[in-house]
Amino acid sequence: MVILQYSKEHSQLSPIHISQLHPLGLVKLRQFEFACIALGHIPELVVFRAFFILVWKSPFFTFDRRDPDVSCLRDIPASSKDKDWKKKFFYIDSGVIPGEMHWKEMGPKEKVKDEGPLEDAFVANALYTRLCERPFECTIIPKGALVMAGMSLLWRELKLYPSLRRDDEAVNRVLGEQKPDVLKIHMGQFLLPAVPADPSGYIYPSLPPVEGVALLFQRRN
């Protein structure tokens, strides 16, 4: 998860906890991670920070475009549709979060120091280039797509692997007796003790799509 990488790798610069992020900041994180996986890339923190800057809008943090002329996302909502989101916080066990997070104290008018990565660190990056060439629409991601991307375990039919046609008609793949169910395929992604230092530790969906069915990650023009 990009948020875990951000909190861990920049704990001395800008330690933040996931509960300190505004919903729109979380939306940008989620959409970025999904876009990376959709393109067949591992989400990279340096690329995320090339696109977004951490800002403090008391009492929450969020992410704004670092360069107003460059973006990996389009049609980003200007406000949260759920006006009562502040009333819906709840407690979770710290063991649910596979990594260390830090709480950042900020005064109402303070500013976050986030100078961003050096241009040489990302300008020739293949993922950065592809995201610039074709920004992803910031929209609601179907639950089956989140499961295929290894970003969710909320899937009832564990022996039906989610897939999707270009016309959004669901065509789920039946898993054979020798295949692990959907939960087992992706559970490792949610049980990592910390963000893997080696990018190869990032777990990808391990099943190919149904024959004749376009990958659901292909964004429609």
Q: What was the pLDDT predicted at 65? A: 93
Q: Which residues of the chain have pLDDT under 70?
A: 1-15, 95-100, 164-171, 186-221
DSSP H helical ranges for 82-173 = 126-133, 143-148
Inter-residue contact 155 to 147 (CB < 8 Å)? yes
* pLDDT tens-digit map of 157-172: 778 877 766 555 556 7
Strands (E), 12-133: 52-57, 60-65, 73-74
Residue closest to 72 by CA, chosen among 199, 200, 201, 219: 219
Q: What is the pLDDT of residues 74-83, one digit of tens each?
A: 988 888 777 8
Record the pTM: 0.74
